[in-house]
Amino acid sequence: MPFWGSPRTLRRAVDSVLAQNHQALRLVVTNDGDSPEIWQELEGITDSRLIRFDLDTNRGRYYADAVVLTATTTPWFAIHDADDWSDPQWLGELVSSATAERAMAAFAPQLIHRGRQVVAEPVHPFLTKRGRIPELMQLAHHAGVYRTAAIRAAGGPHPAYRVGYDTLLVDLVRMVGPCAVSRYPRYHRVIRFGSLTTSRQTGFSSPHRLMIKSRLQEMYQQAADLDPRDLAHFVHETIAPDLSAAVARDADRLAGLMPGPDRKAGR
């Protein structure tokens, strides 16, 4: 759970994850270059499953996700936004769905909050179907549960992007293997003013977002022609060496904060 500029929602998001019925978890909350004072929002939480981690520079959520993915040795990897919150059943139902169907990942419908309006957003039917999809599309929001080996095989979150890459990531995970869908909407996604999806600079209709969409569409077409075993190499070839090195250094720092075998995960 990376955060930047979301002090009003961070505590709710963290509390909802730590209150999951599926308690065998570790929550890494990453300060993506925001003020250290925001940690005051989490004062009083003594749960040993919570790890607080600081990045010196704001690089975006995919960079933060890549750092945590590199540092972890757990068999499952879940993504949760700092703007949002989840019901207690969210994580357990996703893990159960992926396990029962031997899937690479599991997603579920979500409840979208726009002010007082709440609407359900379903998972796209193509997520669980075999065969090539002609073009990149939003199959599911990235707040799901992944087998760690599967999301790594898909190349993981791309640290060079700030918007849009989650759409491609889910599509790439689907190329690695089948995905499962949990039936009930347990995740609450908040559309707030000034976020990356609503601002003039990076919103859905902004020139920057359209440029990124075109670039990701090209990556998708190239990836669709590859053997799934080559996806990670394909993605990593598009990451500048200095950026990969930065991810490795930050992951090594994070690994030192993790208990048990995770200490060596970033080395």
Distance between CA atoms of residues 164 and 174, nearest Å: 17
Residue-range domain boundaries for the chain: 2-262
**Structurally, what CATH architecture does the domain formed by 2-262 represent?**
Alpha-Beta Complex (3.90)
Distance between CA atoms of residues 3 and 24, nearest Å: 23
Per-residue pLDDT at 6 exceeds 60: yes
| Lowest-confidence pick of 18-32, 75-89, 183-197, 216-230 | 183-197
Average pLDDT of the chain?
Answer: 92
Residue 204: predicted pLDDT? 60
Per-residue pLDDT at 186 exceeds 50: yes
Q: What are phi and psi of 246, to 5 degrees?
A: -65, -40
Global confidence as pTM: 0.92
pLDDT (tens digit per residue) in 122-164: 999 999 887 889 999 999 999 999 999 999 999 999 999 999 9
Distance between CA atoms of residues 22 and 170, nearest Å: 23
Helix ranges (DSSP H) in the chain: 7-18, 61-71, 90-100, 148-153, 165-176, 207-224, 231-236, 241-255
Among 61, 84, 77, 78, which Cα is nearest to 13's? Answer: 84
Distance between CA atoms of residues 161 and 58, nearest Å: 12
pLDDT (tens digit per residue) in 70-79: 999 899 999 9
DSSP of 31-76:
EES--GGGGGGGTT---TTEEEEEESS---HHHHHHHHHHH---SE
Residue 49: predicted pLDDT? 96
Q: How many residues does the chain have?
A: 267
Share of the chain above pLDDT 90, in %: 83
Angle CA 127–174–124, to nearest 5: 15
pLDDT (tens digit per residue) in 100-118: 999 999 999 999 999 899 9
User: CB neighbours of 267 closer than 8 A, spacing ≥ 6?
Assistant: 252, 255
Residue 261: predicted pLDDT? 52
Per-residue pLDDT at 206 exceeds 80: no
Span 116-121, average pLDDT:
94
Residue 51: predicted pLDDT? 97
